[in-house]
Every structure is written in C-alpha cells, then in structure tokens.
Amino acid sequence: MIRRKNTVRFMFTIEHEFDSSVITLVDEGKSPLREDVTVQAFASVVTFEQWDPRTNTVSKISMSPEQLRDLTIALNLPEGIYRTSPKS
C-alpha cells in the first residue's frame, strides 16, 4: 500500500478461484474498526460475508449480479425512485 498526501488509504485482497472471485475488504478507517468483509462473486450470485462479534456468527447477504450493478449505480445518485429501461 502506498501512502501519499491527500489520498485515501485502503486495503483489499483479490483471489480468483475455479468458480468465483473472492475479494476481502480490510477496514483501516478510524476506530472502532469493523471486521473484514468477504465478497464472493459467482456467475449467478454475489455474496457478502462479515463476522459479527456481538452474535458470534457470520452475517451473509446474497444478491444477483444485476442487484450488485444497481447498488453500484445507486450509490452515486441522489434520493428518488429510479427504473432503468431494457437495452434495445
């Protein structure tokens, strides 16, 4: 990791498995730090997993690749209701 003045610090790993890509996001922000988030991207589903020390369990969210695409787009839009039209 490179540290430069006025830049954002981040750390993650990427591993390519036989049937998926696995990305691990490491929290290096301000305290209190959160547990690592593991993203597993398969052809038909993307899962997010994070250890929850309060319950001693792994929290898991599964979504379709299309939902992930929509989430990525939505993070950069103002509040409102949006619907995309199919490509012609």
Task: Tell me the mean pLDDT in the region 49-54.
Answer: 95
Domain ranges of the chain: 11-74
Please give the pLDDT value at position 3: 52
d(CA 69, CA 55): 30
C-alpha angle 68/72/73, rounded to 5°? 120
* 52-87: pLDDT as tens digits: 999 999 999 999 999 999 999 998 899 998 887 777
Provide the 3-class DSSP secondary structure of residue 71: helix
d(CA 75, CA 85): 19
